[in-house]
Amino acid sequence: MRAVIQRVREAEVWCNGILQARIEKGLLLFVGIGKDDTEKEAQWMAEKVVTLRIFQDERGKLNYSVSDVGGEVLVVSQFTLYADCLKGRRPSFSSAMEAKRAKDLFDTFFTMLEKRVGKVQRGVFQAHMEVHLINDGPITIFLESPKSCQS
């Protein structure tokens, strides 16, 4: 499982001109699910995301997590995080999980986050979306679950 994590002042997702989700201070997560990912990877990723210390304390040090600051989370499915661009000019997405299974695991991951963070929103799975954000920092982190999660 892969995620691009952005600390944001606010973020929102639009689909077909309709606002689908909006958060204020918190994290915007773009999440890709690999073809071999399981609930173990989702569990690891959820725990890591909510405990990652990327919010500043009173001294300006990155000592607080999204949970510590009462932040919100917006999760957007992003299979393109599994793009392989080594050969040719068109990315291959053969390492991404097929859509039906990916949606189930994405929903599981979302539920895991909901249990840990007060307000969690999501984009529309398998839809063309417009994502608007104000990056705070900017702080952008790429995170990948370890292979040791896989059984």
Catalytic residues: 78-80
Is 81:30 a contact under the CB 8 Å cutoff? Answer: yes
H helix or E strand, kind and range, residue 111: helix 99-116
- Looking at this protein, which amino acid is placed at residue 92? S
- Give me the residue label for tokens 């569990």: 43
Give the distance, in angstroms, between the CA of residue 26 and the centroid of all CA atoms in the same chain.
12
> β-pairing, 72-77 with 119-122?
parallel
Is 28:6 a contact under the CB 8 Å cutoff? Answer: yes
What is d(CA 118, CA 72) in angstroms, rounded to the nearest whole number? 7
Among 31, 50, 21, which Cα is nearest to 107's? 31
- Looking at this protein, which amino acid is placed at residue 149? C
